[in-house]
Structure 1
């Protein structure tokens, strides 16, 4: 996406990233004024377990951040693991 850049990353190494979007060249999606989950996907391991998920959030119609969520402390859920399974 030409008008989207990573502003910062989570310090815990989970893969969560926060975006900056050039709002002068991109119009908001019709999602309303609040924060919504714009997309979500489960992370699956080779044996079919689902240790977490990836969520993409929008605020006031603009992409805001991508979050890598863990459902357990038993596995290190990272963006690398998510990329292998999505």
Structure 2
């Protein structure tokens, strides 16, 4: 099932993709054309994307699969429970991954969005 891009996904992409980076700017231009094709079953918020590649240009990252953006997550206490990764395939957004490094702090897309929005740093 393909669904429109949910607000939590689009907000995290906006927080992770730097407006001043030319590659990220090209990826931001793709966001309005993204659709979610699947989510991780564990509840972390990881999302796979579909994109009409005829509607937008690829980002200048080259052929293949790349981590185009990465954001380490910090809690208000400075703990580092995980990260968010944005992957591309041949210059097009392909998925958003939420990674947990902690057994003590639950990391999901909602928590990642809150920590990124708050801008916590160690």
- The TM-score with structure 1 as length reference comes to 0.93
Structure with the higher helix share, 1 or 2: 2
The residue aligned with 1:71 is: 101
Equivalent-residue separation in structure 2 for 1:62 and 1:78 (angstroms): 24
Matched, 1:12 2:42: yes
Matched, 1:41 2:75: no
Q: Runs (4+) of structure 1 moved beyond 3 Å?
A: none
Count of residue pairs brought into register by the alignment:
86
Task: Tell me whether 72-81 or 58-67 shows the greater mean CA deviation.
Answer: 72-81
The residue aligned with 2:92 is: 62
**Structure 1: 5+ residue runs without aligned partners?**
none
**Structure 2: 5+ residue runs without aligned partners?**
1-30, 117-122
- The TM-score with structure 2 as length reference comes to 0.67
The residue aligned with 1:3 is: 33
SS at match of 2:32: coil
Matched, 1:23 2:44: no
Matched, 1:82 2:112: yes
